[in-house]
Amino acid sequence: MIQKSSMKRQLQSFRQRLAFLLLLLFMLMLFRISVQQFHIQGSSMEPTLHNQEYIIVNKAAYLFAPPERGDVIVFEYPLNPHENYIKRVIAVPGDVVSVIDETVIVNGVTLHENYINKQDPENPYPSFRNHIVAPDEYFVLGDNRGDSSDSRDWGLVPRDNILGKATLIYWPFSADNFGILPSENNVFANVH
């Protein structure tokens, strides 16, 4: 009788360990599918993100909702899908966007972007006006406007190219914001 009881406990212990390992494996797979690391290379997103920082990208962020104005996204570069870029969404499908010198206007509202590095006056971008963002496409800009290749150069980002939303800087760690990327939704509050 004691032997049967001992075997029962061992079997129960084995089942618990197996269940724990299977749960752990499932969680790791889920994490791997929904989260990705990204290494910042270059200064196009300064001052928000800096060269050589590592961030976490939430690949599940847009499964049930589309990207919003102000989101910092990682996407496959439209001209070379083997290369990933990171930029800020400025205009979404149906928006009318204009860039005139350093001024960005979305749906008639001038954006007051406190998160950008001003453009180098010696290296201005050509202005364009009243560009309507097509369905399933996004207009993106780098925060460092004078040192960013973005929608002003190569056009809109197709929805299918978007890999996820940048959510956390994990290296180097910053104590002032605990690595969390600030939300800039207030910049777009009046854009409808």
Q: Are residues 146 and 182 in the same domain?
A: yes
The rounded percent of the chain whose pLDDT value lies above 90 is 51
Q: Identify the residue with better confidence: 182 or 16.
A: 16
Residues 59 and 36 sit within 8 Å (Cβ to Cβ) = yes
Q: What is the pLDDT of residues 14-32, one digit of tens each?
A: 888 888 888 888 877 777 7
Beta strands in 17-93 (DSSP E): 35-39, 54-58, 72-77, 80-91
Domain coverage including residue 135: 40-188
Domain total for the chain?
2
Euclidean distance between CA atoms 18 and 13, whole angstroms: 9
> Residue 50 pLDDT more than 50?
yes
Q: Are residues 113 and 171 in the same domain?
A: yes
Q: Which residue has the higher pLDDT, 176 or 60?
A: 60
Q: Of the candidates 5, 128, 138, 3, which has an alpha carbon nearest to the alpha carbon of residue 71?
A: 138
23 and 64 belong to one structural domain? no
Residues 148-166 have pLDDT tens digits of 999 999 999 999 999 999 9
> In this structure, are 109 and 177 located in the same domain?
yes
pLDDT, the chain, mean: 86
Phi/psi class of residue 89: alpha, beta or left (left: φ > 0; alpha: ψ in -120 to 50)?
Answer: beta
Q: Is 112 left (phi over 0), alpha (psi -120 to 50) or beta?
A: beta
Catalytic residue positions, numbered: 44, 87
Which tens digits make up the pLDDT trace of 120-144?
666 667 788 999 999 999 999 999 9
We report the CATH number of the domain holding residue 153 as 2.10.109.10
> So what's the pLDDT on residue 175?
55
